Structure 1
Amino acid sequence: MRPKPHRLSNLKILIIGVFVAFLLLFVLRSSFSSSNSDAFLPKDSKIVIGRAENCSRTCGKIPPSLAQALIHYTTSTITPQQTLKEIKVTSRVLQKKSPCNFLVFGLGHDSLMWAALNHGGRTIFLDEDAVWIERIRRRFPMLESYHVTYDSKVNQADELMEAGKRPECTAIVDARYSMCQLGLKGLPGEVYDIKWDLIMVDAPTGYHDEAPGRMTAIYTAGMMARNRADGETDVFVHDVNRVVEDKFSKEFLCDGYMKKQEGRLRHFTIPSHRDGMERPFCPL
């Protein structure tokens, strides 16, 4: 989530292109809505027509959040850590589902992009580094982010994998009340209450033995998806080239729910396990 500056001109072009596509879609939707409204307006109603025309001009403007994102990524020398193809996987889902509820484990240089692509929806970022959160907040105060404390370490991954196979870890319950050692219980209350449409796991840090690792984040993302009342949740895990992300995503998000892998990113679509259908933890 926090890449070093590097030259990825193709990635920058993609990001700008994605924003332009969303802007065009936004303008077309506004124009279409305005045209449909005009068709039902009485011809002699000048006041109503005037309002409709006024609304058309207002609704066709670029939202400030998207404008700021365009300016930021056009002028920035720092590009997101995910590759062009990896970003496309999530952006396609967002294009279909936004505005929606999007939970992101991690806060970084790509956060403004995800929030802008989910324009009109709610995007929440969770990060383990309080100093980093304050730094990003100063630059982008419109981003909603929270500090999270993890009590796990990468060197405990094997132990946590075994714990995750116990009955209390396969029971479908609200993660904050779970008896499973892998369940994250210290998140802000609204994170548990919101029905998430998309969840991205791109944090916490997991590249050395003493780092928190993403074991609990991956497990909790899967349980939030299963515990929703109905529908399905798209879950994305980045850095699956690493052992923890590879094994834990397959075990707790399930191979049978995986829709696509592109580079280091995996996309899972997990249905509700509380919708009245009898489902095993992982599909057979």
Structure 2
Amino acid sequence: MRSRTQYPMNTKLLVIAIIVVFFLLFVFRSTFSSSNDQVSSQIAQKVIPKAVSGSLRNIQKSPKCSETCNKIPPSLAQALVHYSTSTITPQQTSKEISVTKKILDMKSPCNFLVFGLGHDSLMWSSLNFNGRTVFLEEDKAWIEQIKKRFPMLESYHVTYDSKVNQADGLMEAGKGPECTAVGETRHSVCQLALKGLPEDVYETTWDLIMVDAPTGYYDEAPGRMSAIYTAGMMARNRAEGETDVFVHDETLVIYLSFIVDSSLCSRKKRSCNYQI
């Protein structure tokens, strides 16, 4: 056994050791904390300004909605001004226009082909905003007149060989196999097929077609037999999807919807089942 006189010395040493350990821990902790604060401060000084400046740059670059989202497109603005100041009545009545407008509301923007260029053409182009609207017109002088007023409208001159006094014979010819066969109109041998249209008109898949021309109220006028037939063949010849066809006369609008299911079509035989 150890003598009693050694206990006080051992106790003092133990207390001193504990104090030294706590002091070292305190110094180490303070140094580590200070180092972390310096590093955090440096990171904050470098990273945060970059992030804030980047955000500010993005805000500055992003367009203001008040400048882009809430501004009326120039074409629509022009249509509003034109129809609010014009005293000329379009060819179709409000009731007749509403028939086509219902389909445009669902399909636009889309590809819209119109036989005829008239006082309502700017309206149709505006209702199909961001879509493509093409007008086919028989009168060259009228096309030039409209282009001066509304240069944004896309129109082409078309020549018709048919006449109103030939309607009965053409309708009978339309029942023949060369006219009932489904195929591209530009290569058709049918008398009713329009073969002189711009190539782009044949190659485009049209979602809506309106037949509101050519002239048909006297015997020597071209009539609308060829336009109606060609519109129907364009609708039937699409690979798949739906084409809506509107035929406007002086007293009514006829609406036909050609729905083509590609699974029912034979590419080689060019034969399909159609729902009208």
Q: Common fold, TM-score beyond 0.5?
A: yes
CA distance in structure 1 between the aligned counterparts of 2:77 and 2:229, rounded to whole angstroms: 36
Per the normalisation by structure 2, the TM-score is 0.75
Take 1:56 and 1:47, find their aligned partners in 2: how far apart are those partners?
19
Query: Percent of counterpart pairs with the same letter?
Result: 67
Is the CA contact 1:170–1:281 (under 8 Å) kept in the aligned structure 2?
A: no
Structure 2: stretches of 5+ with no match in the other structure: 1-50, 266-270
Aligned counterpart in structure 2 of residue 123 of structure 1, from 100, 122, 133: 133
- Do structure 1's residue 106 and structure 2's residue 116 form an aligned pair? yes
Identify the residue that residue 65 of structure 1 maps to in structure 2: 75
Q: Secondary structure at the match of 1:271?
A: strand
Indicate how the Cα distance of structure 1 residues 201 and 82 shifts in structure 2: closer, same or farther if over 3 A, else same.
same
Instruction: Establish whether residue 265 from structure 1 lines up as the match of residue 253 from structure 2.
Output: yes
Q: Larger Rg: 1 or 2?
A: 2
Q: Take 1:88 and 1:270, find their aligned partners in 2: how far apart are those partners?
A: 20
Distance in 2 (CA, whole Å) between partners of 1:193 and 1:265 is 26
- Could you list the per-position Cα deviations for residues 235-283 of structure 1 after superposition, in whole angstroms to 9, with x for gaps in the alignment? 1000174xxxxxxxxxxxxxxxxxxxxxx1111111237x131576765
Higher RCO by CA contacts (8 Å cutoff, separation 6 or greater): 1
Q: Which residue of 2 aligns with 1:189?
A: 199
Q: Indicate conservation of the 8 Å contact 1:240/1:266, yes or no.
A: no
Question: How has the CA–CA distance of structure 1 residues 280 and 228 changed in structure 2, closer, same or farther, with 3 Å as cutoff?
Answer: closer
Could you tell which deviates more after superposition, 47-56 or 87-96?
A: 47-56
SS at 1:124's partner residue? Answer: strand
Look up the match of 2:233: 223
Contact 1:105 1:125 in 2 (8 A): yes
How far off its partner does 1:96 sit?
A: 1.3
Q: What per-residue deviation string (whole Å, max 9, x for no partner) do you get for residues 25-66 of structure 1? A: xxxxxxxxxxxxxxxxx9972333344452553132100000
Instruction: Indicate the residue corresponding to 1:173 in structure 2.
Output: 183
CA 1:283 to 1:101, structure 2 compared with 1: closer, same or farther past 3 Å? closer
Q: TM-score normalized by structure 1? A: 0.73
Query: Partner residue of 1:86?
Result: 96
In structure 2, C-alpha distance between the alignment counterparts of 1:59 and 1:51, rounded to whole Å:
16
2:57 corresponding residue in structure 1: 47
2:259–2:274 Cα contact (<8 Å) kept: no
Determine the structure 2 residue equivalent to 1:5: none
What is residue 138 of structure 1 aligned with on the other side? 148
Q: Deviations over 1:125-166 (max 9, x none)?
A: 011111111111111111111110000001111111111111
Deviation at 1:212, TM superposition (A): 0.1
**One-letter amino acid of the structure 1 residue matched with residue 254 of structure 2:** R
Q: Tell me the matched-pair count.
A: 220
Partner of 1:11: none
